[in-house]
Amino acid sequence: MNNKFQSIRGFNDIFYPESYKLQYIENIARQYFNLYNFKEIRTPLLEKTELFVRGIGTGTDIVEKEMYTFEDSNGESLSLRPEGTASIVRAYLEHSIDKQDPIQKWFYVGPMFRHERPQKGRFRQFYQAGCEVLGIADPFVDVEIIKLAQTIIDTLSVNGITIRINSIGCPNCRPQYTQALKSYLNTIKDKLCDDCKRRIDTNPLRVLDCKKHGCIAATSNAPKTIDYLCSDCLTHFNAVKSGLDSLKMDYLIDARLVRGLDYYSRTVFEFTTEYMGAQNAVLAGGRYDYLVELLGGAHTPAIGFAMGIERISELIHAPSIEGPDVFIIPLLEEAKQKALEIALRFREAGTICEIGYGEKTIKSMMRRADRLKSFAVAIIGKDELKEGYVTMKRLSDGHQEKVKDSDIVSAFQHIKKEASASSLPARSE
């Protein structure tokens, strides 16, 4: 029978083992964020729409097409967050963190929302892990952030990755570049998609971010941002390249890389993969030295990145959780209390344990233990209750022995050690 209630298109239920894979990616990211002295920040899923309109930019696809926006009962326009940085800057200013200490290093993990066409690696509710450094302009922070990103990606064993970098200048030099790009785009206007034709006047840099093959081909000879950099931006970019070179990092200077958000300035970067289609960026970020100021604060240099957790999940093989170490089989109703006590003892010792509550016979419980890929079963029947022992049976070879209640944990560890010594299959801890 069909259930009339179904999830919204692009919003997915995530089950094991995929849920564990996402958790594994998040845990690796957290591990390295902690090593680099980032502290976690958790911001609301819902913000005032104006925050994203001002921060991300009115001419971006995110604001124009992709935000989940609605009015609440008070008539205020609210939006589900499409990305993390604007919310973090809002929190930085709202709580006067900039007055306490302008230098902050924060990381976040959580869901974002964009009304896009669902496809491989792109969902309407998706998960990101990211980090932000506020208050430091030094180009070697850019290097450190890109290195941190590479370390996470390498630890996750994501293959086929190219690090792409570019500089898109600052308010001093970008107007000259924007004008040159605009003039060029007008000469090839008839080859562009309708969206890009409109962007020539509203947001010409977005044309270079278009993923349609016709627009990519038509703009292949477009002016390059790095040819228009002012001396300060060029010095900054050269320092970034020098720092990456000193760390022996491979990267590609990509003149088309402008990123899809208006708040970026100077250094931008993407980690792309050869194993996906047009949506091939698994991690991206850059400098946003003017966003804090744009949202009402003092001039505050900043840089960060976000990684797409589902996209990375498509590209890696994460270790899986095996079945319980011990499956406890209570053969009698009165054995369940003892089963619970033994299970607690195992769990306190760090041993994964399951109790066969739901099955009626020893045969069905043994089948479940086998289906869950348990290492051993602990059987508690009438004799075991009466005499104060448990029958421990190793499923790999059928070896079993009687074990005193008080010795249950050490006996299990011994049985497992024996299995390992004789090359029998055993769970790794």
d(CA 23, CA 28): 9
Beta strands 104-113 and 161-167 are: unpaired
90-127 pLDDT, tens digit each: 999 999 998 999 999 999 999 999 887 776 667 889 99
* CA 129 to the chain's CA centroid: 4
> 387 is written with which tokens?
């005499």
Largest CA distance in the chain: 92
Helices (H), 156-263: 174-187, 194-202, 213-218, 231-246
The pLDDT of residue 342 is above 70? yes
Mean pLDDT of 342-350: 93
User: What are the distances in angstroms from CA 26 to CA 32, 155, 208, 366?
Assistant: 10, 12, 31, 35
> 157 is written with which tokens?
């064993």
What phi, psi does 172 have (nearest 5°)? Answer: -80, -35
* CB 209 within 8 Å of CB 260: yes
d(CA 145, CA 139): 10
The pLDDT assigned to 261 comes to 67
CATH of 326-421 given 3.20.20.450, 3.40.50.800, 3.40.50.300, 3.40.50.10680: 3.40.50.800
173-228 pLDDT, tens digit each: 999 999 999 999 999 888 999 888 888 888 888 888 887 888 989 998 999 999 99
| CA end-to-end distance (rounded Å), the chain | 42
> 416 is written with which tokens?
């497992």
d(CA 60, CA 205): 10
d(CA 407, CA 255): 67
Q: What residue type is 43 in one-letter code?
A: T
Host H or E run for residue 390: strand 389-394
| Cis before 17 (ω within 30) | yes
The pLDDT of residue 428 is above 50? no
261-310 pLDDT, tens digit each: 677 899 999 999 987 766 688 999 999 999 999 999 999 999 999 999 99
The pLDDT assigned to 116 comes to 77
How high is the mean pLDDT of the chain?
Answer: 89
**3-state helix, strand and coil shares in percent for the chain, rounded to the nearest 5:** 40, 20, 35
The pLDDT of residue 83 is above 60? yes
Task: Identify the weakest region by mean pLDDT among 10-14, 76-80, 81-85, 135-139.
Answer: 10-14
Within 10 angstroms of residue 98's Cβ, the number of other Cβ atoms is 18
d(CA 142, CA 244): 9
* Domain parsing of the chain, residue ranges: 18-173+229-313, 326-421
The pLDDT assigned to 85 comes to 94
Any idea which fold 18-173+229-313 has?
A: BirA Bifunctional Protein; domain 2 (3.30.930)
d(CA 221, CA 256): 10
The pLDDT of residue 425 is above 60? no
> 75 is written with which tokens?
């008539």
